[in-house]
Chain A
Amino acid sequence: MTTTVPITLTINGALHQAFVQPWHTLLHVLRDVLHFTGTKRGCNQGICGACSVIVDGEVVRGCLSIAANCQGRTITTIEGLANGNTLSNVQQAFLELGAVQCGYCMPGMIIAATALLKRTPKPTEEEIREGLSGNLCRCSGYVKVVRAVQVASERGTS
């Protein structure tokens, strides 16, 4: 017997409803049910960080979060960071510094950076590296990613 669970999520400020199976992950529901495809699936095992989203203010793995367990939570995805056409400070810095290559890791990376700056507004280089250590990127070599977070932090966290 399977229970289908109705859930309500606040995603990027708007209410969404879905019926989910107990094994469905938040990542699945975001991407394949609600079509928030900005959040990526790189491993489905919690290791690569491509699925990072912010739930109730904290960065977590979408692929390891059971959707039914997210009932009533507030979720921020990559689609929710910009304000209209105005990019967030983190997004703007990633753009200017050329930190983005194929971009597949970037939704997760930018979400993790955003969460990091919220927790530690003026991080050291070491704290930035540690804060992003769970987000794998195969293209960039990380140098410009870390610099971009430094720049975003100098400009403030919005």
Chain B
Amino acid sequence: MNPYIHPVGARLPRLETREKITGRAEYTDDLVRPGMLHAAILQSPHAHARIISYDTTRALAVPGVIGVITGDDAGWGRSGPFVKDETAIAKGKVRYVGEPVAAVAALDVDTARQAAQLIDVVYEELPAVFSPDEALAPNAPIIHEELATYVNVLGLPVRGNVLQDCEISQGNVDSAWGECDVIVEGEFETQAQYHAYMEPCAALAEVDANGKLTVWSSNQSIFRDQSNLSESLGLPMSKIRCLSPKVGGAFGGKIEITVQPIAAMLAIKTGKPVRIALTREQDMETMRVRHPARIRMKTGAKKDGTLVAREVDILMDVGAYADDSPGVVGVSTVFSRGTYRIPHARCRGKGVYTNKLRSGAFRGFGGPQAAWAGEQQIDEIAAKIGMDPLELRLKNAPEPGREWMCGIELERSDLKECLEKVRAASDWKRRRNEKGRPGFRRGIGLACIPHISGVLSSSAIIRILEDGSAVLSTGAVDNGQGSDTVLVQMAAESLGLPVDRITFAQPDTDASPYNWGTSASRVTYMVGRAIVGAAEEAVKKLIKYASQMMECAEVDLELRLGGFIGLKGVPDKVLPFAAISGYAHWAAGGPIIGTHALHYDGPVLDPTKAVIKHFPFRFGVWTFGVHAVEIEIDEATGRITPLAVWAAHDLGRAINPMAVEGQIEGGVVQGIGYALFEEMVWDGGKVANPSFMDYKIPGTMDSPMEIHSILVENPDGSGPFGAKGIGEPPIVGPAPAIANALFHATGVRLTKLPMTPERVLRALNEAPRAH
């Protein structure tokens, strides 16, 4: 089938690939405006300190310096998605080492950087806390004294250093332990992972003569930028236009504000365009990480493998600012139940401020932490009752028509199919019995992944151009995952037009319809639904005008492939879109525009069926995944080498299988980095390894070439063409699957991430030789 004519389901190369591989794609730091200045930041040396005063004289005296901003500049407001606790430049207090305290705009970067170091800031140091335990201790220093006065969008129960305290519970856990034949209990720890998008955060801002601000930046949502900028700078949204050039990866790290307000404030102050690009070190010191977590978990089952009860306490280190933490803690708490029917569950999540870099949204959004604990306990139970871990998972998989959790009944559940497909593809039984070569152990382990796609709102506009081609406008930013292409494929399929007859309007808050963000595995699902709706409306109008032109009833007309409206049953009675659109433009009716807007409307956690406290989302269409990872362990060094990965994901329908494989392969490798060596480390309040020299991410030699993507395609009733999202789930599986493989191979279980050679070797040395 010609992919350009039947685009949905086609392995279509990304539409913008040519630009990217010829070096012509423009990212924020590639943009130049006339008279543009370059900016640099000064960062706090203290983890917690009051700012007493600034002296900018020396900096301003450097030739080439045009402007300086500090927290004293008028206009700074607090912003944040849940609790508005953060100014773009510290005001009054600094709360983590590295926090921006001032910025300079100069004729060139060297000058700006040099001058920034010449700004003198007088601090009064305050006692600081570096872990949730320290922050929760009685008499701990309070990081946000005015927390109670901040705008708190959802009325979260903030107090002291506690930001989020949520619960998702059901059944009667306390009495359920009595029904269990086997109970496992443990404490698990996860580390801070850095997003390591290859493009460090950058922004370019410019103010016009009327005071209207235009901001180009590396981001996941121009609309979140606009809203955050408005709060940050105290400007009405109508005075702010946000645009997105190409984005060099994001993974959650760019969904909220980054450096846009700094560039904007400098542009306002100097009247010149100002560009800022963080260095890699600054990006690692000032942006975001995945939440470090400590998870206490207890799971009970019957002898036959039926899961009965689970109790979970998640404690997450939020860092100095709230950012997306209330959401991440909440989602982690829901996902801590895993992919299983567990009648009795009590899951609590707590997020606590510390004087460290903020934790934020990161692909998986709390899922990786929860699965690290939960999926290991499933294997522990399997081992205790002597059941194959795959069978145990099958036994407890959700089924359509039966309640799954919190009142939700799934229309269908493809977890079993994912499990069966992984079993077959990995040759599970044979590999479970494989022994390693001398000096090495070999093992294979599983992990199941619960996730959702679709939260919040999206919209789309399709306008038919005079020649019958179309422009698709959604406001969705492509972070590299390929959404521009996938969205165009869906629009093309809906309109019966070839892909090259659709142009994708670049996101622009002045012109694009609203989209909350490229996040939460939601673009394909939510924006896709908006596109299908918009296309339906456009087609309706095409039919209406065609009926006027052909003088027949609308019901007798149909959409035909290739951009035609035809008379049903009469093959050669057709009108091309060009003729109809021309008629609409020049004769009657007006330009043909289809629009559709929606808010997530699917099944939600039901507060009448379960205790649901402070869970901040209406969410989402459920999707499941199963990973099996085969590993080899060097007995003498403790190094784990992942050999092969089988990754089955229930994604409804793959709009573009090649893009889906890309998401799976990329997510799996990010998950392997998380599993084996990635870890942001602090020395007191300072990030100790803010460079790629010290913080390692996987390269070609550290990544398995055997990543088998298994696409389980059973169309979802609500999704566009049956599709659900696939952006996040693939990162969740590798860590617990590898931990389970390690146990399978050696009898050793690690509860702390990452599984460095050192931790593995120590565990091997301490363990009785079980195998």
Residues of A within 8 A of B (CB): 31-32, 35-45, 47-48, 50, 77-79, 81-82, 87, 91, 94-96, 98, 100-107, 110, 125, 128-130, 132-146
Per a CB cutoff under 8 Å, which of A39, A101, A125 touches B705?
A125
Q: Does chain A have a CB within 8 A of B280?
A: yes
Q: Does chain A have a CB within 8 A of B13?
A: yes
* Further pairs besides A37-B30, A40-B27, A43-B692: 8, Cβ < 8 Å: A36-B23, A42-B198, A95-B13, A98-B14, A98-B661, A106-B20, A136-B198, A136-B692
Distance between Cα atoms of A134 and B22 in the complex (Å)? 20
Distance between Cα atoms of A59 and B632 in the complex (Å)? 33
* Sample (8) of A-B pairs whose CB atoms are under 8 Å apart: A50-B198, A82-B22, A87-B22, A102-B199, A102-B480, A103-B17, A110-B21, A140-B665
Per a CB cutoff under 8 Å, which of B13, B24, B248, B479 touches A96?
B13
Q: Find out whether the CB atom of B22 lies under 8 angstroms from the CB atom of A104.
A: no
Q: Find out whether the CB atom of A102 lies under 8 angstroms from the CB atom of B707.
A: no
Q: Which residues of A contact B481 (CB under 8 A)?
A: 101-102, 139
In the complex, chain B residues 5-46 whose Cβ is within 8 Å of any chain A Cβ: 11, 13-14, 16-27, 29-30, 32
Q: Does chain A have a CB within 8 A of B413?
A: no
Q: Find out whether the CB atom of B251 lies under 8 angstroms from the CB atom of A95.
A: no
In the complex, chain B residues 660-706 whose Cβ is within 8 Å of any chain A Cβ: 661-662, 664-670, 691-693, 697, 699-701, 703, 705
Q: Find out whether the CB atom of A79 lies under 8 angstroms from the CB atom of B198.
A: no
Quick one: given A102-B479, A136-B697, A140-B662, are A43 and B199 in contact (CB under 8 Å)?
A: no
Q: Find out whether the CB atom of A100 lies under 8 angstroms from the CB atom of B14.
A: yes
Determine the residue in chain A with the shortest Cβ distance to B706. A143
Q: Does chain A have a CB within 8 A of B658?
A: yes
Q: Find out whether the CB atom of A102 lies under 8 angstroms from the CB atom of B198.
A: yes
Q: Which residues of B contact A50 (CB under 8 A)?
A: 198
Q: Which residues of B contact A42 (CB under 8 A)?
A: 198-200, 280, 692
Interface size in chain B (residues, C-beta < 8 A): 58
Q: Does chain A have a CB within 8 A of B364?
A: no
Distance between Cα atoms of A104 and B251 in the complex (Å)? 14
Minimum Cβ distance to chain A for residue B736 (Å): 18
Q: Find out whether the CB atom of B700 lies under 8 angstroms from the CB atom of A129.
A: yes
Determine the residue in chain B with the shortest Cβ distance to A146. B705
Distance between Cα atoms of A32 and B110 in the complex (Å)? 12
Distance between Cα atoms of A101 and B518 in the complex (Å)? 15
Q: Find out whether the CB atom of A146 lies under 8 angstroms from the CB atom of B280.
A: no
Minimum Cβ distance to chain B for residue A121 (Å): 19
Distance between Cα atoms of A110 and B18 in the complex (Å)? 12
Q: Which 9 pairs between the two chains have the least Cβ-Cβ distance?
A: A38-B23, A102-B480, A104-B248, A103-B20, A141-B665, A78-B23, A37-B30, A141-B669, A98-B658
Q: Find out whether the CB atom of B248 lies under 8 angstroms from the CB atom of A43.
A: no
Per a CB cutoff under 8 Å, which of B14, B18, B30, B692 touches A47?
B692
Q: Find out whether the CB atom of B27 lies under 8 angstroms from the CB atom of A104.
A: yes
Q: Which residues of A contact B669 (CB under 8 A)?
A: 140-142
Determine the residue in chain A with the shortest Cβ distance to B673. A138
Distance between Cα atoms of A135 and B246 in the complex (Å)? 20
Chain B, residues 229-267, CB within 8 Å of chain A (1/0): the string is 000000000000000001111010000000000000000
Q: Find out whether the CB atom of A37 lies under 8 angstroms from the CB atom of B22.
A: no
Q: Which residues of A contact B11 (CB under 8 A)?
A: 98
Q: Which residues of A contact B707 (CB under 8 A)?
A: 141, 143
Distance between Cα atoms of A104 and B29 in the complex (Å)? 11
Quick one: given A110-B21, A141-B667, A142-B700, are A103 and B248 in contact (CB under 8 Å)?
A: yes
Determine the residue in chain A with the shortest Cβ distance to B199. A104
Q: Find out whether the CB atom of B23 lies under 8 angstroms from the CB atom of A138.
A: no
Quick one: given A141-B668, A142-B700, A146-B705, are A40 and B198 in contact (CB under 8 Å)?
A: yes
Determine the residue in chain B with the shortest Cβ distance to A134. B699
Distance between Cα atoms of A44 and B691 in the complex (Å)? 10
Distance between Cα atoms of A91 and B19 in the complex (Å)? 11
Quick one: given A102-B198, A104-B27, are A44 and B248 in contact (CB under 8 Å)?
A: no
Minimum Cβ distance to chain B for residue A82 (Å): 5
Residues of B within 8 A of A (CB): 11, 13-14, 16-27, 29-30, 32, 109, 195-200, 246-249, 251, 277, 279-280, 479-482, 658-659, 661-662, 664-670, 691-693, 697, 699-701, 703, 705, 707
Determine the residue in chain A with the shortest Cβ distance to B247. A102
Distance between Cα atoms of A102 and B658 in the complex (Å)? 14
Q: Find out whether the CB atom of A102 lies under 8 angstroms from the CB atom of B662.
A: no
Distance between Cα atoms of A128 and B701 in the complex (Å)? 10
Q: Is the interface of B mostly helix, strand, loop or mixed?
A: loop
Q: Which residues of A contact B667 (CB under 8 A)?
A: 141
Minimum Cβ distance to chain B for residue A91 (Å): 5
Minimum Cβ distance to chain B for residue A114 (Å): 11
Q: Find out whether the CB atom of A87 lies under 8 angstroms from the CB atom of B699.
A: no
Quick one: given A43-B692, A95-B17, A102-B480, are A139 and B23 in contact (CB under 8 Å)?
A: no
Q: Which residues of B contact A44 (CB under 8 A)?
A: 279-280
Q: Which residues of A contact B247 (CB under 8 A)?
A: 102
Q: Find out whether the CB atom of A141 lies under 8 angstroms from the CB atom of B32.
A: no
Minimum Cβ distance to chain A for residue B201 (Å): 12
Determine the residue in chain A with the shortest Cβ distance to B11. A98
Q: Find out whether the CB atom of B665 lies under 8 angstroms from the CB atom of A45.
A: no
Distance between Cα atoms of A107 and B280 in the complex (Å)? 18
Q: Find out whether the CB atom of B480 lies under 8 angstroms from the CB atom of A104.
A: yes
Distance between Cα atoms of A93 and B308 in the complex (Å)? 52
Q: Find out whether the CB atom of A103 lies under 8 angstroms from the CB atom of B480.
A: yes
Distance between Cα atoms of A32 and B25 in the complex (Å)? 16
Q: Which residues of A contact B699 (CB under 8 A)?
A: 132-136, 142
Distance between Cα atoms of A42 and B29 in the complex (Å)? 11
Q: Which residues of B contact A95 (CB under 8 A)?
A: 13, 17-18, 21
Q: Find out whether the CB atom of B249 lies under 8 angstroms from the CB atom of A138.
A: yes
Q: Which residues of B contact A133 (CB under 8 A)?
A: 699-701
Minimum Cβ distance to chain B for residue A41 (Å): 7
Q: Which residues of B contact A141 (CB under 8 A)?
A: 662, 664-670, 703, 707
Distance between Cα atoms of A142 and B665 in the complex (Å)? 8
Q: Which residues of B contact A102 (CB under 8 A)?
A: 197-199, 246-249, 479-481
Q: Find out whether the CB atom of A35 lies under 8 angstroms from the CB atom of B32.
A: yes
Q: Which residues of A contact B665 (CB under 8 A)?
A: 140-144
Quick one: given A98-B13, A98-B14, are A105 and B198 in contact (CB under 8 Å)?
A: yes
Q: Find out whether the CB atom of A143 lies under 8 angstroms from the CB atom of B21.
A: no
Q: Which residues of A contact B658 (CB under 8 A)?
A: 98
Minimum Cβ distance to chain A for residue B280 (Å): 4
Distance between Cα atoms of A102 and B246 in the complex (Å)? 8
Q: Which residues of B contact A40 (CB under 8 A)?
A: 27, 198-199, 248
Minimum Cβ distance to chain B for residue A134 (Å): 7
Determine the residue in chain B with the shortest Cβ distance to A41. B29
Minimum Cβ distance to chain A for residue B424 (Å): 21
Q: Which residues of A contact B197 (CB under 8 A)?
A: 102, 104, 138
Distance between Cα atoms of A104 and B246 in the complex (Å)? 9
Q: Which residues of B contact A100 (CB under 8 A)?
A: 14, 17, 20-21
